[in-house]
Structure 1
Amino acid sequence: MTLPPNDPRRFTQSPTDPAFVQDPYPAYERMRPLGPAVFWEDYGHWCFHRFDDVNALLRDRRFGREGPNPAPTPEHLKPFADFSRHSLLEREPPAHTRLRTLVNRAFVSRAVERLRPRITALAHELIDRFQADGEVDLIPAFATPIPVVVIAELLGVPADMADQLLDWSHRMVAIYQFNADRAVEDDCVAATVAFSDFLRGYIDQRRAAPGDDLISHLIAAEEAGERLSTDELISTCILLLNAGHEATVHAIGNGVKALLETGLDPALAGESATTEEILRFDAPLHLFTRYALEDVEVGGIAFRTGDVVGLLLGAANRDPARFEAPERLWPGRPDGGHVSLGAGIHFCVGAPLARLELQCALPALFERLPGLRLAASPRFADRYHFHGLEALNLVW
């Protein structure tokens, strides 16, 4: 898609610009006067930034994750493309409906709530390891292990493999970053193959000796005739492991940073209203893309079938037309709500778990470490569209 050179809706902003990486919100503010969407030239597609538009488009069935006219896959990316083709995140109904119905059973609120004692105990176990030191980089010591251990235990994967699971995951999701080069692509494929091979072997073990875990339950569903193939099972497990920790790590880190910088009463850290406001205030994912499934016009823009549309979740969550003082961390705000976890049929399947992990981790941290404060200015990692800290150095 091209625009006349003088079209005012053109927008240029490198996602790797250091100032943007550390604070993307001024760039979003520059978008707002240009209309409901901007043509982000660095990406080469339209991006919507207003809350109402993003919320509506997440639910609009004329757009989806499964492109109707996919471009031929380069040979070197075929293993990753094969994985994606079976992923819940990338499918549309009816395949998406079947996969999501099976996975949803493990993530309904009442099932997740049973994990509260384990998550709380894990948070305290991790704090025990560094409390006496008086200082910590919270990202590797606390924010990272909580979600990866929890999702591994839920799936039935050995928690002592956490470091290896993280390595595979980081290498896979790197392909979604802006301007990923051939080296990143090759490394992503290698991680995808290794992760898939591990899970294929582990699934075989679970077939022979089922346990009380999600992998065993999904195998049982497959064998009961609910048409879950082994490739779908592998892709589902990888997706849950990747998505089950990636966003939550950032949410914990961004949340602690926000609470400390704004001086919010630590006693509020475990409140559900605080969790929701943290997710709104500094979302862990800022850009979510979809494809037009038909020729359609939105916001005065004509999309052809197969066109990419970007939804700027981070910008939508700070939309002044929707939120009073959007730059303020305000738990219990009268105009609450956010799109950090998506909406519509692709609403985050692990949302109840992500919320519970925040509600358990943050109060444990502030209760155990009175006087907690920043030791240095936190810095975000250069990994847009993910928005998370590379380090969070704290002292107490």
Structure 2
Amino acid sequence: MLPKPAISIDRAKRRVSIDVHHPDFYRSPSSAYAEIHAHCPAFYWNEREQWYFAGYDQVNALLRDRRFGRQILHVATREELGIPSPKAHLRDFDALEEHSLLELEPPAHTRLRTLVNRAFVSRQIEQLRPDIQRLSHVIIDGFERDGEVELLKTYAETIPVTIIARMLGIPVEATPNLLDWSHRMVRMYVFNPSPETEHDANQASADFADYLRTIIAEKRRAPADDLLTHMITSEKDGERLSEAELVSTAALLLNAGHEATVHQIGNAVRTILQSDHAPEDLFATEATTALAVEECLRFAAPLHIFQRFALSDLDLDDGISLRKGDKIGLMLGAANVDPRKFSDPLHFKPMRNEGANVSFGAGLHFCIGAPLARLELNLSLPILFQRLPGMRLKHEPEVRDSFHFHGLERLDLVW
């Protein structure tokens, strides 16, 4: 019997079957995306039972389309849509998600984002440059003489979680717990999490929330010059963030402030080391560094899917009809390798300048931390390659069997 393929496509019906746990798929989803682009960039994913969109123009447009939202229960009831009741064993996880910027729609989203946004504008983020540079060097000092390192745990993870913790005003000593809670929570975002994953994510959410409530209480007693104090004391139209909003927002910023960046640093280092391009050329100037970083974000994006609800019955231009409450999937990773947008898209071309990738999303929910992530990448990658000029892969890295987040299990380097 022939082995089952990772992907099969019925072009006439625009139906696609994908085994997300097939090594040929999760190790290199771009190959499957190339087939999708060639046959049906808008398709019904049989296993997921909903429509997905892979074309750059359509993904970019739908991310901005206000007929779709991250929420649906603000315009319809569970009974109307046939959505089951919340799972009791996910009560604490759902409580953290309830006030998350990622899940809200205006006016709640507008109010919350306005109160947080000031800390993430480019001029504020630029002030972190010396801290990121200093931290990058200090971490490398710790392993440079060893001649080898597992990069994800020592470097890729430490930089973003340390920086976001400092921004928020959370003790850096707490970062091991923050990382543990975060890792356990984000496992909920893969397709079909197991009951064990759900229970574990809920416990992590409860512990995370308890810790944040303690920190918030301390900030109320002794305000400091940090983002958490700013969120506690800031007002918008006479309103302040509630306790639940503060906890949800802090958890989101800590999780989103490092999870994707960790994978992107790992993916970028692997991509560069496996390419024919000399790091000293890629990072010769700030301009070439910026182009190389953007190409890494396009070529090896860490986050591959965002989902949206149709907020009403509607018809799309390509003949797809949706009912109110239908979910659609927007394939960021596939959009980034659309041959209609990018020439020779499956090749890493660091001096490429063909328009923006969609790795940070677009529209209302464009990633608030994009300026911070870009700065961390633009500083940490050149410093790493400059400090360790003979760096190479110890062996072929293993890709995680986790489709939503495309990243490595570990990244072992030698020099």
> CA offset at residue 223 of structure 1?
9.7
The counterpart of 1:217, out of the listed 209, 230, 233, is 230
CA distance in structure 2 between the partners assigned to 1:109 and 1:26 by the alignment: 35
Select which of 379, 385, 390 maps to 2:404: 385
1:44 paired residue number: 49
2:68–2:308 Cα contact (<8 Å) kept: yes
TM-score normalised by structure 2 residue count: 0.92
Give the residue type in structure 2 aligned to 1:302: S
Q: Which amino acid aligns with 2:95?
A: D
| Paired amino acid for 2:367 | C
Deviates more, 1:176-185 or 1:223-232: 223-232
In structure 2, the residue corresponding to 1:253 is in which secondary structure?
helix
Deviates more, 1:84-93 or 1:65-74: 65-74
> Bigger shift: 80-89 or 182-191?
80-89
**Greater shift in the superposed pair: 145-154 or 81-90:** 81-90
Residue 297 of structure 1, CA deviation: 1.4
SS of equivalent to 2:44: strand
Question: 1:256 matched to which residue of 2?
Answer: 269
Question: Which whole-Å deviations, capped at 9, do the CAs of 1:272-294 have from their partners, x for residues lacking one?
Answer: 11111111111010111111111
Of stretches 244-253 and 293-302 in structure 1, the one that deviates more from structure 2 is: 293-302
| Paired residues of 2:160 and 2:258 also in contact (CA < 8 A) | yes
1:306 aligns with 2:325: yes
Amino acid in the other structure paired with 1:16: H
CA-atom RMSD, angstroms?
1.5
CA apart distance, 1:222? 4.9
Distance 1:116 1:6 in 2: 49
Instruction: Indicate yes or no: 2:364 matched with 1:345.
Output: yes
Contact 1:316–1:339 (Cα < 8 Å) also in 2:
yes
Displaced runs of 4 or more, over 4 A: none
Distance 2:260 2:223 in 1: 29
Report the CA distance between 1:35 and its aligned residue: 2.6
Q: Which amino acid aligns with 1:27?
A: A
One-letter amino acid of the counterpart of residue 132, structure 1: R
Is contact 1:57–1:63 with CA below 8 Å preserved after alignment? yes
Residues 219 and 192 from structure 1, CA distance in 2 versus in 1: closer, same or farther, beyond 3 angstroms? same
Alignment-derived partner of residue 132 in structure 1: 145
Q: How many angstroms does 1:38 deviate by?
A: 1.1
Q: Find the counterpart in structure 2 of residue 83 from structure 1.
A: 96
1:332, distance to aligned residue in structure 2 (A): 3.1
Q: Which SS does the other structure have where 2:409 is aligned?
A: strand
Change (3 A) 1:178 1:211: same
Of 26, 32, 47, the match for 1:27: 32
Question: Which deviations, in whole Å up to 9, do the C-alpha atoms of 1:171-216 show, x marking residues without a partner?
Answer: 1111111120111001011011100010011100000001111000
Select the residue among 320, 324, 333 that pairs with 2:352.
333
Q: Does 1:369 align with 2:382?
A: no
Q: Conserved in 1, the CA contact under 8 Å of 2:111 and 2:236?
A: no
Question: In 2, distance between residues paired with 1:59 and 1:308?
Answer: 15
Q: 3-state DSSP class of the match of 1:394?
A: strand
Maintained 8 Å contact 2:260/2:303: yes
Amino acid at match of 1:81: D
Q: Deviations over 1:97-145 (max 9, x none)?
A: 0011111100000000000000011111110111001111111111011
Alpha-carbon deviation of 1:328? Answer: 1.9
Structural mapping, 1:287-302, within 5 Å = 287-298=305-316, 299-302=318-321
Q: Please show how residues 61-210 of structure 1 align to structure 2 within 5 Å.
A: 61-68=66-73, 69=76, 70=78, 71=83, 72-210=85-223
| AA aligned opposite 2:292 | T
